[in-house]
Structure 1
């Protein structure tokens, strides 16, 4: 799988400007840590002066990026965020996909604690981030290196992500918006019949989709709790 040529045309300039960053992360301490690293890099002159704003929920991020249409040159995007089902945002991945679909001309730097190879591969496919870091590998060097590479239109992946990209044996798993809705409703303890009413599905369709989800996530059929727990582990809901 070759990611090197996936961004072309207008998106490939010799150098990008950086004036604003939005940190989408529900842990405020992590936000403060990222912002401090950025401020220190500014003082050292290794990156340009930049304004930083934080969004601690998908609702707030959607408000800033979509509803208010505020432009940010770069978004630091966490994947495991509490869902905002009113806008079909069940994780940071859905927000990233929305940024790509709306062509907001915003560079995406994903930072996640997820380490499941199939899940990371899916995020690489759907969000197509310009940079991708595992949180356990985030430090001043990797974060600032990622920003510098992205500004030069060069992708930046942390060591773990690099290994995944080089592993041609990774299988792909894709979850549709309806499947994420199904998992979200199951996580709320809603019964199959009521799920059908929510999604305008027949009862048989709900049960069939549940069987498909068990197969996709490698969970024994009939174990709904294990299915929900696995979805949470993978940051899907």
Structure 2
């Protein structure tokens, strides 16, 4: 019998139990699912390191984007956790789940993780979750309807923002200081500062605070 290691990361234990129950219903006689769970970025980090140290792999990971942060390891959201999973377990099929469809979050997740599955929780029910999970484990890519539509957001195209610009907006919204952003983005501090200035100029056309910038971004439903 083949054992599939499934990593479930969500800050709601009942949601984790639901995933476990649904996935357990679709296993075959030839496979057996071994579930590992985490309810925060810190717990997820510890599970990842433990699995890596044991020289084992995760085959599938379901990760909620909204998780309690672990600043000590620069893990602010499930996106950061998914990046860590991708780094340690390249063959793992990652499914991101979220209640948020704001373009900055969706674009950042796609750019940083490129998950095999990306699902807005309100887009699916138990039946469609099972169908999506099965198709992903068989090698397909599944993005739920709202996530797919968000990627074609016309506002972003009109503003001419790229994935890094939107990632900077997400970090500002998380109250990450500019000097600390190179810990999260593979750019120099000066390059980030230039991009941030351009973002402010594009959205507000005048000198503004981070708070005012995020207020405007939320008005446009970017974050």
Q: TM-score, normalised by structure 1?
A: 0.67
Q: Report whether the alignment pairs 1:100 with 2:90.
A: no
Partner of 1:35: 20
Alignment RMSD: 3.8
Deviation of residue 115 (structure 1)?
A: 1.0
Distance between the aligned counterparts of 1:164 and 1:46, measured in 2?
A: 39
SS of corresponding position for 1:19 = strand
Match of 1:140 among 106, 126, 134: 126
Post-superposition Cα deviations, 1:120-143, rounded to whole Å, max 9, x if no partner, equal 122112111011110112322222
Alignment of 1:20-59 (within 5 A): 20-42=5-27, 45=28, 48-59=31-42
Would the alpha carbon gap of residues 48 and 157 (structure 1) be closer, same or farther in structure 2, given more than 3 Å must change? farther
Would the alpha carbon gap of residues 18 and 154 (structure 1) be closer, same or farther in structure 2, given more than 3 Å must change? farther
> Which structure 1 residue ranges, 5 or more long, are not aligned?
1-16
Q: Which shows bigger deviation, 51-60 or 140-149?
A: 140-149
Q: Contact between 2:105 and 2:170, CA under 8 Å: does it hold in 1?
A: no
Q: Report whether the alignment pairs 1:85 with 2:76.
A: no
Deviation of residue 178 (structure 1)?
A: 8.5
Would the alpha carbon gap of residues 95 and 130 (structure 1) be closer, same or farther in structure 2, given more than 3 Å must change? same
Match of 2:164 among 161, 174, 179: 174
Q: Contact between 2:169 and 2:214, CA under 8 Å: does it hold in 1?
A: no
Distance between the aligned counterparts of 2:48 and 2:31, measured in 1?
A: 22
Deviation of residue 100 (structure 1)?
A: 2.4
Distance between the aligned counterparts of 1:88 and 1:136, measured in 2?
A: 29
Deviation of residue 68 (structure 1)?
A: 4.3
Distance between the aligned counterparts of 1:47 and 1:136, measured in 2?
A: 32
Would the alpha carbon gap of residues 61 and 176 (structure 1) be closer, same or farther in structure 2, given more than 3 Å must change? farther
Q: Contact between 2:108 and 2:164, CA under 8 Å: does it hold in 1?
A: yes
Q: Contact between 1:78 and 1:112, CA under 8 Å: does it hold in 2?
A: yes
Deviation of residue 35 (structure 1)?
A: 1.7
Q: Report whether the alignment pairs 1:150 with 2:133.
A: no
> Which structure 2 residue ranges, 5 or more long, are not aligned?
183-189
Partner of 1:64: 47
Distance between the aligned counterparts of 2:133 and 2:144, measured in 1?
A: 12
Deviation of residue 112 (structure 1)?
A: 0.7
The higher-RCO structure (CA 8 Å, 6+ apart) is 1
Deviation of residue 206 (structure 1)?
A: 9.9
Post-superposition Cα deviations, 1:35-79, rounded to whole Å, max 9, x if no partner, equal 22223334xx59943122210011111111135415211100111
